[in-house]
Structure 1
Amino acid sequence: MKKAMPLRELLPLLGMTVSAFIFNTSEFMPIGLLTDIAAAFHITEAQAGMLITAYSWVVTLLSLPLMILACRMDFKKLLLGTVGLFGICQILSAVSPNFTVLLLSRLGVACAHAIFWSIASPMAVRLVSEEHRSFALSMIVTGTSVAMIFGLPLGRMIGLTVGWRMTFASVAVVAFIVLFYMSALFPKLPGSQSFTLTQLPELFKNPVLMGLYGITFLFATAYYTGYSYIDPFLQQVAGMPAGLITLALTVFGVAGLLGSFLFSKFYDRMRYSFIQMALLGITLSLLLLSPASVSSWAVIALCVLWGICATAFNVAFQSETIKASSESASAVAMSIFSGIFNLGIGCGTWLGGTVCTYGSIAWIGFAGGIVGVIAAVGFCLVLAPNMKRAK
């Protein structure tokens, strides 16, 4: 029987969970505020979408090198510096006089994001005793899931009530509260053994890992082709009022928790079928987005399916990435996973913006759905056979 987690482990872990919440809330906030930000600076939604694209590409470029550097540093100092940078850049976002300054401040947040998600899981595991490591990792995932449920719609509600600038300011306040909390309660935690670039070829020679990265990129591209512009889509195409849009985004996040629950119940028994169903559900959600827009409730029902499958896929592929890599390289493998996922976010946002600019915002679901079909076929024909041979 497991012993209860002592407070010296639980309290800093709670701080890490709240940190995960605000970092992911911040990443997705511009999605719910895109229309208001575009209007404030007299630009198009596609131009405002650069806040998401540039952010994700910075994370893509910096995740791996920062992970390698982070291995050599005291984790507490690194964490406090990261949260401090995050909070300062949120303030700069709130007071930005023009779109260029807002974009630069978001790039600063992206740098903090790249560092945080390179060290979050290793730190959480090292904070606790071995018997509580699974719980520690689940707490980090919980912070991310709660951000999807409440963070994005809460940010949008703040933006609708007192303006989008106050949304960034509110996140800054929480960040500085977390900073002071962690400075008092987080223990000294020396960096782990360094990982060098000379060890990377071993990862890149792993066919299963390369397949996981490839499908992850396609999934994220498909997903964010539609999701990055879901707010203006629901306004302009589905004709939904502000309150119903907030409800749809909330339902999307809550459905994600159900996806996480289904993962815990069924994944070990049906790994390949589980991933296939998740990819199929995401692809169908995107392809049916425009046809469903004739009914607000049909769109909300589609958001339920979309949210379930997106979270289920994400958790499953993180699990597969850890399984496919050695224990010593798992943190770097996850860092690369994060970078590739964010590359997909940037490409998806760019693709969706291109569709909006040169076509119609009503087509974003079709564009994302085509990429989703490629991902599903790639998994069934290439990755799944490699995974079975590697068992």
Structure 2
Amino acid sequence: MTTSPTEIRATLDEAPARPSAGVAPAAGQDPSARSALVRWLSVLTLGLGVFAIVTSELLPVGLLPPIAKDVGVSNGVAGLTVTLYGAVAALTAVPLTVLFGRIDRRWLITGLMSVVVAGNIVTAIAPNYTVLIAARILMGFAHGVFWSTVPGTTVRLVPERHTVKATAIVLSGISIASVLGVPLGTFLGQQTHWQVAFYAMAGLGALVMLGALTLLPMLPSQGRADVRALPALLRHRPLVTALLVTTLTMIGHYLAFTFVAPYLEDETGLDSGLISVLLLVFGIAGVLGNFVAGATVARSLRKSLLGAVGAMAAALLVFAALKDVSYVAYPVLIVWGLAYAALPVCLQTWVMQSAKGQTDSASSLYITSFNGSIALGSLLGGLVVDHIGLASVTWIAGGFAVAALIAAAVGKQRSDA
């Protein structure tokens, strides 16, 4: 049996709302109205933080060719800027979340965003590839802890009746960053210089850091991820299947998407100036996909999930088969963007349904799976590009998506039975 939407909401609503301490109401303003305003500004700050940290993770994707040229490495080696970031985030999410679990959430989030700011600045000024990679690894350490901390913090910022809405706002930063942040960063980097895009993300991170300091209340730890719950969760078939589908879809996506810029330029034959436009098309489609998924998942998670995975598989295979037909890139990227943006909503909902009351621990496993798959996908993509050929990435990525579709169809049918 699946968990009902009511039960999911009850799980999200477990943590009590906390008052927005430390912010005085403006003169002549109703204190309760000011409190509500501060609460929602705090939620928006966390959502902006999600957007900033996910965009920072994926920003090299659209700028690989100029980055590789400037630091003197191949596109495949430059792809390690995504691979190592994701690998570090995946490997350290659980242990570092436990280690820093007793720190007040306002100070923890502020500190994590300061690492993101510093990492983006060092990335922009890196004189060589070694310094560039070191900066990306540093940011990876902050990423996993941030993701483990933000969902639980969000539900403490608003009254219980608003926790689902607040959580949806914050988590929408994932899809918007993936499908819009990267294209916008690519456009900025191509119109100026790739370093400018990273300076922009440092500025955005500084804004989030300031917002966390001034808007978030003091939020002492109320509970931490319990590593002792992990073995039991890993024996729960629906959750394991959800994690498997997450792994397969994200490997497939990032295997191809990490190298989409050189693929469009070298294989499809498009002018480099059109690549940023195409990625913006991908992003706009993704924003629409995020809204569509939010509306359809509540009605039928299974149909939404299978539709998103199936559409991504079809888009990748068509792209592989018709790469020489340049205009095909436009509809393919639209479908791909729609499908990918829907996936985090579908997958995270499935994980929440399968959490057996251990939402923090299940979330840490999801974070590990998601970020580990980013690392594996970009690593495999780099190996394919350097040893087999750029033309093969979409075929292999499509194969992973097909495998994910089969696993999702079989696994979701069993869990619904």
TM-score normalized with structure 1 length:
0.94
Task: Name the aligned partner's letter for residue 185 of structure 1.
Answer: L
The question of whether the paired residues in 2 share the 8 Å contact of 1:207 and 1:386 is answered with no
State whether structure 2 residue 236 is matched by structure 1 residue 191. Answer: no
The unaligned stretches of length 5 or more in structure 2 are 1-31
Q: Does 1:71 align with 2:101?
A: yes
**Are the structure 2 counterparts of residues 151 and 269 from structure 1 closer, same or farther at C-alpha, using a change threshold of 3 Å?**
closer
Offset at residue 305 of structure 1 (A): 0.8
SS of residue matched to 2:156: helix
1:84 is displaced (CA, Å) by 0.9
Distance in 2 (CA, whole Å) between partners of 1:94 and 1:20 is 21
Deviation at 1:291, TM superposition (A): 2.9
- How many angstroms apart in 1 are the aligned matches of 2:59 and 2:203? 15
Indicate the residue corresponding to 1:163 in structure 2: 193
The percentage of aligned residue pairs carrying the same residue is 28
Tell me the equivalent position of 1:385.
413
144-153 or 106-115, which deviates more? 144-153
| Cross-structure match for 1:234 | 264
2:227/2:361 contact within 8 Å kept: no
- Change over 3 Å in CA distance of 1:174–1:257 after alignment to 2: closer
TM-score normalised to structure 2 length: 0.88
Letter in 1 for 2:383: T
Which AA in structure 1 matches 2:270?
A: M
Q: What is the alpha-carbon distance in structure 2 between the residues aligned to residue 214 and residue 149 of structure 1?
A: 23
Q: Distance in 2 between matches of 1:138 and 1:84?
A: 25
For 2:368, which of 335, 339, 342 is the aligned residue?
339
- Whole-angstrom CA distance in 2 between matches of 1:268 and 1:17: 21
1:248-287 per-position Cα deviation (integer Å, ceiling 9, x unaligned): 1112122122222222333333332322222111111111
Give the drift of 1:48: 0.4
Q: Which amino acid aligns with 1:367?
A: I
1:148 aligns with 2:165: no
Query: 2:397 matched to which residue of 1?
Result: 368
User: Aligned partners of 1:285 and 1:269: how far apart in 2?
Assistant: 25
Q: How does 1:1-391 map to 2 (within 5 A)?
A: 6-327=36-357, 329-381=358-410, 383-389=411-417
- After superposition, what is the alpha-carbon deviation per residue over 1:41-65, rounded to whole angstroms, capped at 9, x for unaligned? 2211001011111111101101111
Tell me how far apart the structure 2 counterparts of residues 88 and 264 of structure 1 sit (CA, whole Å): 34
Amino acid at match of 2:416: K
Q: Deviations over 1:297-319 (max 9, x none)?
A: 31111111111111222211100
SS of corresponding position for 2:155? helix
Residues 70 and 191, structure 1, Cα contact 8 Å, conserved in 2 = no
- Alignment: residue pair count: 385
Inter-CA distance 177–276: structure 2 relative to 1 (3 Å threshold)? closer
**Given that residues 251 and 303 in structure 1 are in contact (C-alpha distance below 8 angstroms), is that contact kept between their aligned partners in structure 2?**
yes
Greater helix proportion: 1
Conserved? CA contact 1:34–1:48, under 8 Å:
yes
Shift of 1:289: 1.2
Paired with 1:296 and 1:192, the residues of 2 have a C-alpha distance of: 54
1:299/1:178 CA distance change after superposition, 3 Å: same
Structure 1 residues 358-377: Cα deviation after superposition (integer angstroms, max 9, x where no partner): 22211111011111122112
Q: In the alignment, is the contact (CA less than 8 A) between 2:176 and 2:286 conserved in 1?
A: no
Partner AA of 2:394 in structure 1: G
Q: Say whether the 8 Å CA contact 1:155–1:167 is kept in structure 2.
A: yes
AA in 2 matched with 1:138: A
